[in-house]
Amino acid sequence: MTRTDIRVEQTQHSRLADVDFDNLVFGKVLSDHMLVADYHDGVWGDVSIVPYGNISISPSMSALHYGQSIFEGIKAYKFEDGTVSIFRPDKNWERFNKSATRLQMPEVPQEIFIDGLKQLLSIDQNWVPNKNGSSLYIRPFMFATEAALGVHPSISYKFIIITGPVGAYYSKPISLKVETEYTRAADGGVGFSKNAGNYALALYPTELAHKQGYDQVMWTDAREHKYIEEAGTANLIFRIGDTIITPHGDTILHGVTRRTIIELADAWGLKTEQRKVSVDELIQGIESGQVSEAFAAGTAATITHISRIGFNGRDYELPAVETREFSLKVLDYLNDLRYGRIEDSFGWNFVV
């Protein structure tokens, strides 16, 4: 598929002038256009870029009943000279198709996911903020559209990309409660996939954590509630001693930001480990001063420092943010790279 295969219908009523770019609430402001593609009987067809708006669905649409629904989160940035660049969309495309396979959904070809996204952003380039700390959040998603109540893989799907300008998802360091009662993912399950159900199941335990004074839960393994997994809205990374450590396995989302940070640490000659991290190791490390940094890493969260961890009725405070050399250096580096202020030696910027 080439650019000419995408039908474009531009809006006559841009909403851009109404946007307050200084007070963006995550996910509330959506850009003028969206990309929509339909899949039926084994074939992707009808790819179009149209004005953002409501879509019509059947009440018996299978995604509503049986949950074949997956998504991604990507960000685009604007350089000082106005160039628009998407950060590592190839990795999100790969992960999206892994999620699709696990949920018995069709893969989306690169021509639609990446080339289509580039065309969408070239049309909505004025929606990409140019302020430090702001970006255009990109939400590709796919869901089963067959109108049928029998439990079987849908024969039809819709793939949509919507976008919108955003600031920080978390405006300050967050507190996490180690979750030892509820479970996010089990071995052999769908923890690695970015499907809607993984977020729905987190809402109730997260609400309980909120009531206890925490921002988010820190998920632990399903079998023993002994090993740390992720925070639900982002992956987790720790600096223990001189090593940058992140939990590993198929029960956690394989985040692009997490991967980027580990790749950077490797390139900078730091010791990195992707392995099981027990809650005991973390708590003992905090108490002994070995844990000097702890942060959440994700597209929306970028790097969000963790200030406090609650476990077994006790709170454990992490060192002051100003002392966190590694994560502060990563943040500066990634900002410089994403806003085009330094050379892109890794090839992570996809210029539109």
Minimum CB separation of residue 301 from ligand COI in Å reads: 6
Q: Is the CB of residue 215 less than 8 Å from the CB of residue 170? A: yes
Q: Give the residue with the Cβ less far from ligand COI, 44 or 88.
A: 88
Q: How far is the CB of 298 from ligand COI (least distance, A)?
A: 4
Residue closest to ligand COI (Cβ): 73
Closer residue to ligand COI, CB minimum distance, 19 or 256? 256
Give the residue, chosen from 161, 300, 318, 352, that forms a contact with ligand COI under the rule CB under 6 A.
300
Region of 128-136, 242-250, 298-306, 308-316 interacting with ligand COI (CB under 6 A): 298-306
- Report in angstroms how near the CB of residue 198 gets to ligand COI at its nearest: 10
Is residue 299 a contact residue for ligand COI (CB under 6 A)?
yes
**260 forms part of the interface with ligand COI (CB under 6 A):** no
By CB under 6 A, residue 298 contacts ligand COI: yes
Strands 302-311 and 314-317: antiparallel
Minimum CB separation of residue 325 from ligand COI in Å reads 24
- The window from 35-43, 292-300, 325-333, 334-342 that contacts ligand COI (CB under 6 A) reads 292-300
For ligand COI, which is the closer residue by CB, 62 or 99? 99
Measured from the CB of residue 205, what is the shortest distance to ligand COI in angstroms? 15
Neighbours of 281 (CB within 10 A): 18
Q: Is residue 233 a contact point for ligand COI (CB under 6 A)? A: yes
The answer to the question of residue 136 lying near ligand COI (CB under 6 A) is no
Between residues 264 and 301, which has the closer beta carbon with respect to ligand COI? Answer: 301
Q: What are phi and psi of 266, to 5 degrees?
A: -60, -45
For residues 92 and 292, which CB has a smaller minimum distance to ligand COI in the complex?
Answer: 92
Kindly identify the residues of this chain, within the stretch 11-50, that bind ligand COI according to CB under 6 A.
none
The yes or no reply on residue 175 touching ligand COI (CB under 6 A) is no
* Shortest Cβ 77–ligand COI spacing (Å): 15
d(CA 349, CA 345): 10
Q: How far is the CB of 232 from ligand COI (least distance, A)?
A: 7
Closest separation in Å from C-beta 331 to ligand COI: 16
> Is 165 an interacting residue with respect to ligand COI (CB under 6 A)?
no
Number of residues that bind ligand COI (CB under 6 A): 6
| Three-class secondary structure assignment of the chain | CCHHHCEECCCCCCCHHHCCCCCCCCCCCCCCEEEEEEEECCEEEEEEEEECCCCCCCCCEHHHHHCCEEECCEEEEECCCCCEEEECHHHHHHHHHHHHHHCCCCCCCHHHHHHHHHHHHHHCHHHCCCCCCCEEEEEEEEEECCECCCCCCCCEEEEEEEEEEECCCCCCCEEEEECCCCCCCCCCCCCCCCEHHHHHHHHHHHHHHHHCCCCEEECECCCCCCEECCCCCCEEEEEECCEEEECCCCCCCCCHHHHHHHHHHHHCCCEEEECCCEHHHHHHHHHHCCEEEEEEEECCCEEEEEEEEEECCEEEECCCHHHCHHHHHHHHHHHHHHCCCCCCCCCCEEEC
73: contact with ligand COI by CB under 6 A = yes
- Binding region for ligand COI (CB under 6 A): 73, 233, 298-301
